[in-house]
Amino acid sequence: MHFASDNAGPVHPGVMEALAAANQGHAPAYGGDDLSARSVARIREVFEAPRAEVFLVASGTAANAILLASLAQPWATVFAAETAHIHEDECGATEFMSGGSKITLVGGEHGKLDAGALAETITGLGGRGVHGVAPGPVSVTNVTERGTLYTAREIAAIAAVARAAGVPLHMDGARFANAVAALGCTPAEITWRAGVDALSLGATKNGCLGAEALVVFDPALAGEVERRRMRAGHLLSKHRFLAAQFLAWFEADLWLDLAARANAAAARLTRGLRERPEVAFRHEPQANMLFVDMPRALHRHLIARGAVYNLWSGRLDGDDDDEPLTARLVCDWSTTDAEIDAFLDLF
């Protein structure tokens, strides 16, 4: 009954085998090996983007911060939703990597940035000349931090606003596979075809050990990435082991298979919880994460029985048993029906 996070889950055996298979004698360090070259080619293929520049790192925060620092001048501000991981959960990594840029929060609902609000926010920044910060990249997260999805059409609307303002569009794809699987689209359709210029492609949460790709669709925007990755200590010497993860992940669409399993598990969990009257959904679950309100006493009961998940608001030890506290429940590729059913049986 582990619903704490998809980054607490196991690595898929196919990925572990690929690591072992990659461990054959010597190979050039720092990405000069064959597997690394093949992983880049594979990502280009998957995204139907032969000119994309691709760089691998081991953490999602690194992917986001290196990309945004490469897209934003130090005196720019990045536009993001209030719930954005770059704003709330990366300890100021983007501000640090970029040399002091800002993040300007843009309104929207259910973890999504609203295109109209974005346009207004950008306009509102204007008129201060050199005294204000400059408009910088827009960053959207898909799957969002609230378990909801942007459709290709919604992304295109945001991209249109970004383009009109002359700023690039970044996507934090920590759960990108879950988005593709849920939307039933191609990777290209919700990235460059919809106007995304650069993607943080996360594999860690979906069956890998630690592997994220920086995919820059417009190579003209990639000029700073390599140096920034190096000087932030993110160019791994035994780079073949990053590459091997991605190659295994894309093999026979494993990535989409794993994402679909996680999404299906979350759907099963959603169906079960809908039948519990004490449970209220804060957002309509669309991928592999649920945000639900339940009374404090119920949380205590579930956790005492061994359920593992995080409270998104409030504390277990309050006085009021009936006070609703929000929980985040995340499924990953390894979540079983039995596990879900055991959890639901606790109610």
Among 14, 29, 186, 250, binds its own copies (CB under 8 A): 29
Phi, psi of 257 (to 5 degrees): -65, -45
Residue 188: CB minimum distance to its own copies, A: 27
Q: Which is nearer to its own copies, 276 or 310 (CB)?
A: 310
Query: Is the backbone of residue 190 left (phi > 0), alpha (psi -120 to 50) or beta?
Result: alpha
Name the token pair of 116: 């109209």
Does 219 help bind its own copies (rule: CB under 8 A)? no
Q: Which residues contact 290 (CB under 8 A, 6 or more apart)?
A: 147, 266, 269, 270, 273, 281, 327, 328, 329, 330
Does 231 help bind its own copies (rule: CB under 8 A)? yes
Does 24 help bind its own copies (rule: CB under 8 A)? yes
Residue 53: CB minimum distance to its own copies, A: 14
Pick the piece of the chain touching its own copies (CB under 8 A) from 35-43, 46-54, 90-98, 138-146: 90-98
Q: What is the DSSP letter of 224?
A: T
Residues in the chain: 347
Residue 166: CB minimum distance to its own copies, A: 15
Residue 259: CB minimum distance to its own copies, A: 17
Query: Taking each helix axis from N to C terminus, what angle separates 115-125 and 152-165, rounded to the nearest 10 degrees?
Result: 10
Using CB under 8 A, which residues numbered 288 to 347 contact its own copies? 308, 334
Does 265 help bind its own copies (rule: CB under 8 A)? no
Size, binding site for its own copies by CB under 8 A: 75
Using CB under 8 A, which residues numbered 40 to 79 contact its own copies? 57-66, 73-75, 77
d(CA 24, CA 34): 12
Using CB under 8 A, which residues numbered 103 to 142 contact its own copies? 103, 128, 130-134
Among candidate residues 56, 61, 64, the one with its CA nearest the CA of residue 245: 56
Residue 131: CB minimum distance to its own copies, A: 5
